[in-house]
Structures are given as C-alpha cells and as structure tokens.
Structure 1
C-alpha cells in the first residue's frame, strides 16, 4: 500500500501544535488550503475517537472520515468511511513530538491508500502517490504557517483552555 509522508518543525510546543492541527472552521481555513469545507457529523461538536467528519477538498473531492485515534498532544488518526470511487482504502495519521530545540515540535503527517479497480492499481497508485505527496507537502506547509499566525494561535490557545465559564 503506498504511503506519503511530510515532516515539518514548528516553533510551538507539542500541545499547541496539536491544538492548531485540530482547529475548526473558520479558523482552520486560514491555514488548511486543502479543505474547502469541513464539519463534524452525527451532532458531534469536537474531535474524539469514533467521531466522523465530512470534508470537501479544494479539488472538489469529498470524503467522510472517522477518527480511529485521538491522543492529544501526540497523535491523531483517521480512516475513510466513504469517499471517492478511486480509493478502496484511505487512512492517515498526524504525529507531534517535542523537537530537540525547546518549545518546538516535529509534526509528521502520513497517509496510506489503495486505489481501485485493481487492474489500474500500478499506474493509479504511482499517480496517487505523486499527487498526494504534493498535496501533503502543501498542506503541512500551510499548517506551519498556521503555527505562526496570531489568529490561529489564539484559537488554539482558547481550545487548550477549554470552555469559558
């Protein structure tokens, strides 16, 4: 199964780096140029294991995915529940670890997929790895920009503090 991966070091601690990655609309759209629209399904209001989301990419492709792991501040994982016809399988994980430099985080994002129909797999997966590789690099670069954006950082700090009473 093909795997694409991108890594970046961001100048914020892991808790904040993770919180930035989980921002929601409209703040999410400031850094995540891959997404045109995204929202929780089934009356969920925040991410957690088992929560499903709808995502429409800027390319017009839609997917329903489910969180298979949600462990702040270290990692989050998802799998496609329903998506484009050409993916038999699509899953991804984002990991966050303290960098050697204090107050910095190494963010590593990895996607794996399998294309269908089977007879197209060799060519389709080569093209898919190229295309998804390009998109994951663009997306993680946008995320790194979000980790320096005062509006995004303020929203992530609010999420870390929890609801105001």
Structure 2
C-alpha cells in the first residue's frame, strides 16, 4: 500500500481552545445546527459521551453510514477517530481534529482526513476522486464549525460542557 491521501483544512475562530473544542464535540440538534456533514449521529454501546474507545454511528447527509471509534480524546487539544465499518469503497478512513491557541487570542482548528480506497486496482483513480470530494466536504464542514463558533445556541451548549 502506498501513501494514504490526506485532506486538511483549518480555520481561526475567536474562541479559547477549550470552548472551540467543546463546539466540535456538540451532539444532537445542536450539532446539526453547524455540521453539514451529519444527518444523524449517536454513541453506541450505551456510551453517554465521547472518550477514547467510544464508538459512534454517523449517517452522512447523503445517507452513507459509518461506525467509527475514538482513538484519542484529549480536551482541549485533540480528537482522533477511525472507521470501524463504513462505505465499501473505503479500506481505511480516519479523522483528526487539533485545536491550538492562535496569536490573535482565538483558536486555530485543524481538521484532517486520511483514507485509502478499495479495490486495489481502482484505488489510484478512486483516491484522486476522493481527495476532491473530501476536500469540498471538509471545507464545508470547517466553515460550518466556524459558524457554530458564533451561534449563541451552540455556544451555550458548548459552554455547559466546558464548565
């Protein structure tokens, strides 16, 4: 297997890292206010909240479903997830979010996907297409995150999680 494609995007938001991190981890109707990627998302196995090892079921806005697992959860700096099961064309799908103080007083949020496609004979073409599609998706998603960082409803829910 060659090098996995990586798609990354970043934004600076006018929030401190702990609150920006909390916005990224909102759930339910609050999450749907800002995240254009998700139609539905829920924790599995009775987990009440995100943590390393917790699995989630996510339904993409186009109907695709994926079970993913938190491989790292370190508020207020990083989140990492990997696909456990998902769309047939991904052999690997992983995502990471990083939050760091920005000189402006806000937070720089960096979101990254890495993936590989199958079957192997189609992967070179599928991965080139995947980079284009996922780049558009991650740009829309991080722009939604930035809007969420200015939404009073989202900020109220995230503030409750931080305090």
TM-score, normalising length from structure 1?
Answer: 0.96
How far 1:160 sits from its partner (Å)?
Answer: 1.0
Q: Deviations over 1:77-122 (max 9, x none)?
A: 00000000000000010000000112x0000000000000000011
Superposed counterparts of 1:94-105, under 5 Å: 94-102=97-105, 104-105=106-107
Q: Stretches of 4+ moved more than 3 A in 1?
A: none
Partner of 2:27: 24
Partner of 1:54: 57
**Alpha-carbon distance in structure 2 between the residues aligned to 1:75 and 1:47:** 12
**Alpha-carbon distance in structure 1 between the residues aligned to 2:74 and 2:159:** 17
* Equivalent residue for 2:144, pick from 131, 142, 145: 142
In the alignment, structure 2 segments of 5+ residues that lack a partner are none
Aligned length: 160
How far 1:33 sits from its partner (Å)?
Answer: 1.1
TM-score, normalising length from structure 2?
Answer: 0.97
In the alignment, structure 1 segments of 5+ residues that lack a partner are none
Q: CA RMSD in A?
A: 0.4
**Alpha-carbon distance in structure 1 between the residues aligned to 2:76 and 2:49:** 15
How far 1:66 sits from its partner (Å)?
Answer: 0.1
